[in-house]
């Protein structure tokens, strides 16, 4: 502790902080950027070594000023936003980061101090997103995992489009068996009609909830 650290930036070593704890903007911006630099240096494995044994690349949920989930950044980036007053700590619970000048809470959820205007995010139509929508399950036989392929319900040479409504996940065996036929012609009914995935925040950030269940209350309803 010490080393010219502004008093309002000093935190208790090894402590955890309740939801709602946040850093006030330091008067010395050089210190703020210097601290972030020290964290980067420690992450790089140079002079300072590790950052108190905690990876600064852990994901952090970023909320808009109105608490709308915006995206995910690294803990390193989140700390930088906190220190320059562009964000406030909403949820900690991960312990602290240790840098040359002291320790700071490791954030799990932060909220921006300004409003970001942006259009409603949409999920891109990709092979990976089709698999995710279908829960990595063949939509013909119900087999999960294994070698999965992308199948056009209506074959392309018969006017089938590259769309949410015409693309499904299929195992290699079912795709080969169906060939250039429709499900009706092949006698292979779909488990459910294909369509666009949910646009909710819970769906968009679903893959993070396995390891970060504490984010769920901030995602529900958006």
Q: Flag whether the pTM goes above 0.75.
A: no
d(CA 213, CA 217): 9
- Residue 103 pLDDT grade (very low, low, confident, very high; cuts 50, 70, 90): confident
Q: What is the mean pLDDT of residues 192-200?
A: 94
b (16+ CB within 10 A) / e for 137-162: bbbbeebeeeebbebbbebeeeebee
145/19: higher pLDDT: 145
Q: What is the mean pLDDT of residues 182-195?
A: 96
The full set of domain ranges for the chain reads: 7-112, 127-186
Residue 184, pLDDT above cutoff 80: yes
Fold of 127-186: DNA Binding (I), subunit A (1.10.30)
d(CA 82, CA 107): 9
d(CA 62, CA 222): 14
Helices (H), the chain: 29-43, 75-83, 127-133, 172-178, 183-186, 201-204, 216-219
**pLDDT at residue 101 in the model:** 61
CB 42 within 8 A of CB 89: no
């Amino acid at each position: 502790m010490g080393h010219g650290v502004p008093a309002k930036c000093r935190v208790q070593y090894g402590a955890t902080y309740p939801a709602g704890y946040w850093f006030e903007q330091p008067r010395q911006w050089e210190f703020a950027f210097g601290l972030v630099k020290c964290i980067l240096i420690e992450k790089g494995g140079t002079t300072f070594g590790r950052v108190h044994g905690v990876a600064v690349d852990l994901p952090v949920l970023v909320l808009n000023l109105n608490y709308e989930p915006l995206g995910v950044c690294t803990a390193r980036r989140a700390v930088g936003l906190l220190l320059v007053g562009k964000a406030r700590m909403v949820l900690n619970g991960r312990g602290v980061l240790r840098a040359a000048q002291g320790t700071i809470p490791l954030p799990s959820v932060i909220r921006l101090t300004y409003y970001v205007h942006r259009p409603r995010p949409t999920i891109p139509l990709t092979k990976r997103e089709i698999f995710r929508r279908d829960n990595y399950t063949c939509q013909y036989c119900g087999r999960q995992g294994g070698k999965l392929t992308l199948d056009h319900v209506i074959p392309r040479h018969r006017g089938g489009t590259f769309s949410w409504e015409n693309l499904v996940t299929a195992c290699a065996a079912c795709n080969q068996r169906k060939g250039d036929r429709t499900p009706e012609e092949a006698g292979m009914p779909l488990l459910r009609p294909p369509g666009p995935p949910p646009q909710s925040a819970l769906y968009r950030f679903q893959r993070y909830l396995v390891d970060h269940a504490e984010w769920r209350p901030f995602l529900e309803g958006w």
